[in-house]
Each structure stands twice: as C-alpha cells, then as structure tokens.
C-alpha cells in the first residue's frame, strides 16, 4: 500500500502520519533537553566511504546511484557513519547530537522487512568519563522508551577484544581474529585453525619449502600458467603468509578457553565484573571498566541487578561498535526489530578522522516500531 510505512499500515497520511511526526518530535525534544544539537546529514553519501567501512557485502543491501560528478552514491543505511564524518570534519571537539530521518536497506525477495524506516538518535562525542557517557546514553534512551513493554540487554565488545589481545600469539593472528569478531562462524573456525597443528598438503608443503628457501617465485612460475585471477605477486604474498602461519605455535587449550569463556559469559550488569574476574583474572582492566559502568548506571537510577548482560551480545548485529553495546527488544512482538539499540564506537572515529580519534557513544530508537508496539496491533 502506498500509505504504509515500516510496521504501520497507514503511516504516511492523516492520523497515522500525525502520530509518526508526534513521536519523532517527542524523541527529538527529549534528546535536545539532554544537551544535544540537532543535525541533519544528507541522504546520499559517497559509496566508497561506506563500503570501506562495511565491506563489499553492503552493495547487496544498499541502494546506490551514479552521479556524473560525485561518482557512486548510496542512500544512507544508517546515521552513525554520516554523523561521525560530519563531526570529524567539524574538528572533533566535545559535542552532542540529535537527529531523525529515514534510512534505507534492500531486503531479500519475500522478506517482510521494510526497505525504508525511521531512526531517531542521540550521540555523545569527546566525553572524559566513558563509563558515565555510556550510562547516560542508555538512560536517555530508556527514559524515552518510557513504559513500553521492552526488555534490555547489555554487552561489551571490549571484553572480546581484550581477550584476543591477551593471547600469546603473533599480531597477524590477533588482527585476523579482531577482523572477524562480528562473524561468529568464521571466528570459531579461525580459533580452531590456530589451535591445531595439522600438516599442510603435499603441494602446499612444497610451496612453503620454496618460500623458506627464497625460491617462491620460481616454484610458482614452474607450476604452469595462472588459471585464476590472482597475480604471481599475490600468490607469493599469500605463500609468505602461509609460511608465517606454519611457523607460529598453536594456541594452547588455555588460550582458546579464555576466549570461549569470555564469549559465553552471561550475568547481570551488577555482577558482570565479578564474574569476569572469576572467569578471566588476567582481564582485570576490562573488569574495572565494567564495574565503573555499573556504578555509573546506578547513579542514573538504573537497577543494575535487573539488567541482563551477555559478553557476546551484538556480535552479529552491531558491527563497528567496539565497546559497550545495548539493545531493547519487545519479547511479545517477535515481528518487530529491536526497538532501540546503541553502543560505543571509538575506533570508527579514528577511521573517519584519518587516525585522529575521539571517544564516542550513541544510540537510536525506531519511532515506527515504537508506535507499533504502543498500538499493540500486529
């Protein structure tokens, strides 16, 4: 229907549109009351910027067009990247922003997920107390959701990264694990591979011997004409990587257990730090940060004993968050997406700031989903 929008049958005219505008206005007013400056990023952004951050897979999920001057452009798939880019270009100072508008995602054929939906967000940049900023963003969104029947969940991607950093292995392996943190199956396979001591195939063993003897190029050239798309230089580089892998010692059982135990940690925000100290005593600094966040949440009036915590939360849905993560879902409405979500993304600011980073945390609410939940109609 031309009058329908995400999760609402009549949200583009009359009373339905008035409800949407009213909800967006209410959310924006609340964010602005917490010191946020309204911003409105452009709907079209350079595709190369977004693809560099999300990977080529984004092409299958985003709407793109070509401009004769600007080149390939993409309808924004979310607000965080545009807001960060605007802020970093402005000078990366202390700031708070509020925004609301549409984002677009292509969906699989037959999917009932919307291709366009609204986001209203609140972002905090440059704070000097990360725990306090994390707690404030969560509390602001929780307050905005009011008495909606939603359930929160918290996590911390920083715990996973801290466990990887604690591994006794080379930097190449750590980098690969960090890169695939958001892809659980690939991450698991890497852990299994790094903890095994399997011998390479006969052909690969010959290639590795050639690399060790400094004769990789000659070996590759003698193997015959190239049949794939890789150049000899790329094959040679890959062979050197394989050689470094062969010479690296397998991860110990204790090392693998450290990572898997951290990922399996489930508790409440009030006891998460204690559980982490018990599970991984070498991650004391990460436990201290958890403890500081729990105290900050308590200061906002939150009952941390009632806030579920899962260390692996956000691994498949909240890519680019590298610390605190959270979400609010509607248990009785599995047809709806998360009503709100957010987290910390310090690393993203370093990427978009060309090496100059700044602490940053924020979150979004989906106004149409919130209205659908208020209405109660499925």
What integer is the mean pLDDT of 343-365?
Answer: 91
Domains for the chain: give ranges and CATH numbers.
Answer: 1-41+76-150+330-346+353-378 (3.30.930.10), 155-197+251-321 (no CATH), 199-249 (no CATH)
φ, ψ for residue 120, nearest 5 deg: -125, 125
Give percent of the chain above pLDDT 70. 83
Query: CB of 324 within 8 A of CB of 133?
Result: no
Strands 95-104 and 340-344: what pairing?
unpaired
Of the ranges 11-15, 198-202, 265-269, the best mean pLDDT one: 265-269
CA dist 258 → 66, 262, 268, 323, 370 (Å):
47, 6, 20, 18, 39
Residue in 320, 367, 342 with CA at minimum distance from that of residue 154 = 342
Q: What pLDDT does 202 receive?
A: 47
DSSP β-bridge partners for residue 308:
268
Cα 131–chain centre separation: 19
DSSP string, 88-108: HHHT--SEEEEEEEEEE----
Q: What does the pLDDT look like over 34-45, one tens digit per residue?
A: 999 999 999 998
Residue 203: pLDDT band with limits 50, 70, 90: very low
**Over the stretch 115-170, which tens digit does the pLDDT of each residue have?**
999 999 999 999 999 999 999 999 999 999 999 999 999 999 999 999 999 999 98
Confidence of residue 213 (pLDDT cuts 50, 70, 90): low
pLDDT tens for each residue of 69-110: 988 898 998 899 899 989 988 887 899 999 999 999 988 888
Please give the residue that has the higher pLDDT: either 56 or 323: 323
Residue 214 has pLDDT above 80, yes or no: no
Rounded Cα distance, 359 and 344, in Å = 8
Task: Give, in order, the Cα–Cα distances in Å from 8 to each of 5, 21, 99, 366.
Answer: 5, 13, 21, 12
Q: What percent of the chain has pLDDT over 90?
A: 59
Q: For strand 324-329 and strand 37-38, is the pairing parallel, antiparallel, or unpaired? A: unpaired
What would the mean pLDDT of 238-257 be, rounded to a whole number? Answer: 72
What pLDDT score was predicted for residue 47? 84
State in Å, rounded, how far the first CA of the chain is from the last one: 16
Rounded-to-integer distance, Cα 341 and Cα 119, Å:
10
In this structure, what is the dihedral angle of CA atoms 62, 123, 287, 171, given to the nearest 10 degrees?
A: 50
Q: How large is the average pLDDT for residues 1-8?
A: 83
């Amino acid at each position: 229907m031309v009058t329908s929008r995400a999760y609402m049958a009549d949200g583009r005219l009359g009373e339905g549109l008035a409800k949407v505008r009213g909800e967006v206005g209410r959310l924006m007013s609340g964010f602005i009351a917490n010191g946020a400056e309204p911003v409105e990023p452009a709907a079209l952004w350079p595709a190369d910027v977004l693809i560099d951050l999300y990977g080529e897979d984004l092409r299958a999920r985003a709407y793109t067009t070509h401009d004769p001057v600007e080149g390939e452009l993409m309808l924004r798939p979310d607000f965080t990247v545009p807001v960060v880019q605007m802020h970093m270009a402005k000078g990366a100072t202390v700031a708070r922003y509020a925004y609301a508008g549409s984002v677009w995602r292509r969906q699989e054929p037959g999917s009932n997920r919307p291709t366009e939906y609204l986001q209203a967000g609140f972002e905090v940049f440059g704070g000097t107390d990360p725990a306090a900023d994390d707690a404030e963003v969560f509390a602001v969104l929780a307050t905005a959701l009011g008495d909606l029947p939603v359930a929160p969940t918290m996590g911390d991607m920083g715990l996973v990264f801290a466990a990887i950093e604690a591994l006794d292995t080379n930097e190449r392996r750590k980098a690969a694990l960090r890169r695939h943190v958001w892809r659980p199956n690939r991450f698991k396979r890497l852990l299994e591979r790094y903890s095994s001591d399997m011998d390479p195939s006969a052909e690969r063993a010959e290639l590795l011997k050639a690399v060790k003897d400094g004769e990789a190029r000659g070996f590759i050239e003698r193997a015959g004409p190239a049949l794939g798309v890789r150049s000899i230089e790329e094959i040679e580089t890959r062979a050197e990587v394989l050689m470094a892998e062969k010479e690296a010692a397998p991860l110990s059982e204790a090392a693998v257990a450290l990572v898997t135990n951290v990922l399996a940690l489930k508790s409440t925000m009030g006891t998460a730090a204690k559980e982490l100290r018990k599970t991984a005593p070498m991650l004391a600094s990460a436990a201290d940060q958890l403890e500081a966040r729990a105290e900050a949440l308590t200061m906002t009036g939150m009952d941390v004993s009632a806030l579920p915590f899962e260390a692996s939360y956000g691994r498949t849905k909240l890519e680019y968050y590298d610390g605190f993560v959270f979400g609010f879902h509607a248990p009785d409405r599995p047809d709806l997406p998360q009503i709100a979500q957010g987290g910390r993304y310090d690393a993203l600011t370093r990427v978009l700031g060309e090496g100059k980073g700044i602490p940053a945390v924020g979150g979004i609410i989906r106004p149409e989903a919130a209205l659908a939940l208020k209405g109660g109609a499925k």
